Structure 1
Amino acid sequence: MWTTTVLLLLLPHALSSTDKGQTRFNQSEIVHQDFSDAPVKGQKPLGGVKGQDTCSIPCDITVKLLRDEKHSICGQLQQSLLAFGRSTRKLIRDVMEEQQRALDVLGSQVTELMTKVQTLSFEVQRSNTELYSVKPVQSHGRDCSDIKDNLMSVVPKIPSGIYILHPENTDSSFEVFCEMDYMGGGWTVIQRRTDGLTDFKRPWADYVDGFGNLAGEHWLGLKKVFHIVNQKDTRFQLHIALVSHDDVTSYASYDDFQLDTEIQFFSIHLGRYAGSAGDAFRGYDQEQNQDTAPFSASDVDNDGCKPFCSISNRTVESCSAQHNHTGWWFNQCGLANLNGCSEDAEQNRGQRTHILWDTWTQNGIPHSIKSVTMKIRRIATNN
């Protein structure tokens, strides 16, 4: 019986702890004794079935057994919890490392994809430019007038198109659009407005370097124009061709056109006026005179409104801001801005485009201008 075996293992310890006056039992007798025949006095027999032999264990031994068993279970549980905690932390760490590796791989793939997209976009842009732009004619000259003079002896009819210029006393070559069939040809186009597809709301740097499509709307760039018109022993005419929304044409011409250096903000200098559109550059009085004015843009203000100008009973602090952040030779704003554009091209379609040449009027009202071209041509060489 399980009870007898437990008692045999525990009795030596229990008997050794009894008082000196306690009766000593013969161990051999206990081995052969059936505990079910001699229950301990004062204890209730284990089990509860009437008429069945029972065995009882002393209370202090039972308590000790339960306590030892509890401590053993608690120790095992504590060890299990510690092991579970370690394994859980390791699992979480492994998962986080795996996620980080996956994120690194994904980030690398995204970077590679963005590089491919940018490369593809550049290729598409270049293809579109090659497809829709006029190919440059590989002929060099100091300006379009010089190119015309050089080609007249070898080509019966010189076509308009994109040519390569290399003005003297400069280290740079650049492309321009040459008009070879307008009023005798030899014109270098420095600005063209036709369809509203090019945004002229630009900062100073863009107006210095140029922008747009040479075969369509564009601004050649103040630095390039400066190199052309400031060649030695040359003088250039400025011609402005205007077309209204009702297809009326007009022009303004100046027999001398010069620009100062960038340090002087490319101030404009104009000679005598001729034409049918009126001299809007000089206006009707000195306050409107834009001749000798430095160039201004949204981020470089040279318009003379310090601290502000009063125009038509309105206070204006910046002419560029007043003209929708475009660049021009403003002087207290003035009557001309061929780079002007409206806030919303769609909303103002069919109305005034804000390309201004306000001395060109009909019944006292300035024309609504649809397109304009500014071009220059060499007119004299002083020896």
Structure 2
Amino acid sequence: MLAFGRSTRKLIRDVMEEQERALDILSSQVTELMTKVQTLSSEVQRSNAELYSIKPVQSHGRDCTDIKDNLLSVVPKIPSGIYIVHPENTDSSFEVFCEMDYMGGGWTVMQRRTDGLTDFKRAWADYVDGFGNLAGEHWLGLKKVFHIVNQKDTRFQLHVALVSHDDVISYAAYDDFDLNNETLFFSIHLGRYAGSAGDAFRGYDQDQNQDTAPFSASDVDNDGCNPSCSIDDRTVESCSGQHNQTGWWFNQCGLANLNGSPEDAEQNQGQRMRILWDTWRQNGVPHTIKSVTMKIRRIATNN
């Protein structure tokens, strides 16, 4: 019995020692695995930091005309789409939509209305910085357009493409287009008109002329109605308010507002709450506009 007891204790001690050795090995393996996990985690964090760090973005050109001219020597057909531009004498790059198929291409889109999904009832800051989806409805932003058209030794034209609700197509073009800086509220300057939609920017008399007018928005009033204007025998204190809180180059309201908001037209029959180009008419009645695109293109370089 005594011998059996000693044998049993030895067996138990051997088993316990074996378990301790196994635990030591397991502990070592766990420690090694944790070390590998920590190393891997550090590498992932470092990779993410590199991935999301702010780095200079390589631009495709100074504007869409410049991009077209640069790429034509490389590829036979340049697709329309979103490109990165870096205008001269600016410290930033930004995205724009370039139309490369329309009338020879090279157009930088500054405004597009197609489906009514983007709200154009915006304050001054939004019109300065831009809003919407570049691939769809959007306003590029007055500051960005200013940087594009004020590059050294460049001249830009403006093209307005209009489509009515019954799919009639028309346009208005200006052979010169420029904006002043924000201090002068991005006043617009237009050259000679050509087209089939009429010169709504200038209207029929000086009181309707929006050429050289500063930009206005719901919270920045430069419309020339001081303290009010008489429009169609109605007193108007704010052209932006008259046009559903949208922004435009108003001059005593005028005959053009391609940012006009059509959503409330049926609720406000007495007010012009739609996309407006009043000189485009059929049988004396202005066309109801369902889509419009404003685009600019470089047309001359003076060396």
TM-score range, shorter chain: 0.7 to 0.9
Q: Is the 8 A contact 2:79 2:101 kept in 1?
A: yes
Q: Give the partner amino acid of 1:270.
A: L
Q: Is the 8 A contact 2:59 2:93 kept in 1?
A: no
SS in 2 for 1:183: helix
Q: Does 1:144 align with 2:95?
A: no
Alignment of 1:236-315 (within 5 A): 236-315=156-235
Kindly report the root-mean-square deviation, in angstroms, between the aligned alpha carbons of the 2 structures.
1.6
The alpha carbon displacement at 1:140 in A equals 1.2
Aligned residues: 244
Q: Report what 2:300 is aligned to.
A: 380
The alpha carbon displacement at 1:139 in A equals 5.3
Counterpart Cα distance in 1 of 2:92 and 2:80: 22
Q: Report what 1:231 is aligned to.
A: 151
- Encode CA deviations 1:38-60: one digit per residue, 9 max, x unaligned: xxxxxxxxxxxxxxxxxxxxxxx
- Encode CA deviations 1:308-356: one digit per residue, 9 max, x unaligned: 00011000000000000000000000000000013537869xxx97100
Evaluate the alpha carbon distance shift between residue 354 and residue 166 of structure 1 in structure 2; reply closer, same or farther with a 3 A threshold. same
Q: Does 1:191 align with 2:111?
A: yes
Alignment of 1:28-39 (within 5 A): none
**Residue number among 238, 243, 248 corresponding to 1:318 in the alignment:** 238
SS in 1 for 2:102: coil
TM-score under structure 2 length normalisation: 0.78
Evaluate the alpha carbon distance shift between residue 345 and residue 162 of structure 1 in structure 2; reply closer, same or farther with a 3 A threshold. farther
Q: Report what 1:164 is aligned to.
A: 84
Q: Is the 8 A contact 1:353 1:370 kept in 2?
A: no
SS in 1 for 2:241: helix
Q: Is the 8 A contact 2:264 2:273 kept in 1?
A: no
Counterpart Cα distance in 1 of 2:207 and 2:168: 29
Q: Is the 8 A contact 1:288 1:331 kept in 2?
A: yes
SS in 2 for 1:170: coil
Q: Does 1:221 align with 2:138?
A: no
**Residue number among 212, 215, 223 corresponding to 2:132 in the alignment:** 212
SS in 2 for 1:256: strand
TM-score under structure 1 length normalisation: 0.62
Counterpart Cα distance in 1 of 2:169 and 2:259: 18
Structure 1 runs (4+) greater than 6 angstroms displaced: 345-348
SS in 1 for 2:274: coil
Counterpart Cα distance in 1 of 2:161 and 2:260: 16
- Encode CA deviations 1:201-256: one digit per residue, 9 max, x unaligned: 00000000000000000000000000000000000000000000000000000000
Q: Give the partner amino acid of 1:269.
A: H
Q: Does 1:362 align with 2:282?
A: yes
Q: Is the 8 A contact 1:138 1:163 kept in 2?
A: no
Higher strand share: 2
Same amino acid, percent of matched pairs = 89
The alpha carbon displacement at 1:273 in A equals 0.2
Q: Is the 8 A contact 1:176 1:220 kept in 2?
A: yes
Q: Is the 8 A contact 2:265 2:274 kept in 1?
A: no
Q: Give the partner amino acid of 2:206.
A: Q
Q: Give the partner amino acid of 2:193.
A: Y
Q: Is the 8 A contact 1:211 1:221 kept in 2?
A: yes
Kindly indicate whether structure 1 or structure 2 has the higher relative contact order, using CA contacts under 8 Å at least 6 residues apart: 2
SS in 2 for 1:291: coil
Evaluate the alpha carbon distance shift between residue 156 and residue 322 of structure 1 in structure 2; reply closer, same or farther with a 3 A threshold. same
Counterpart Cα distance in 1 of 2:243 and 2:231: 13
SS in 1 for 2:104: coil
Q: Report what 1:176 is aligned to.
A: 96
SS in 2 for 1:255: strand
Counterpart Cα distance in 2 of 1:197 and 1:315: 31
Counterpart Cα distance in 2 of 1:358 and 1:346: 18
Q: Is the 8 A contact 1:256 1:270 kept in 2?
A: yes
The alpha carbon displacement at 1:167 in A equals 0.2
Uncovered stretches (5+) of structure 2, i.e. residues with no partner: 1-56
Counterpart Cα distance in 2 of 1:145 and 1:206: 26
Q: Give the partner amino acid of 1:233.
A: D
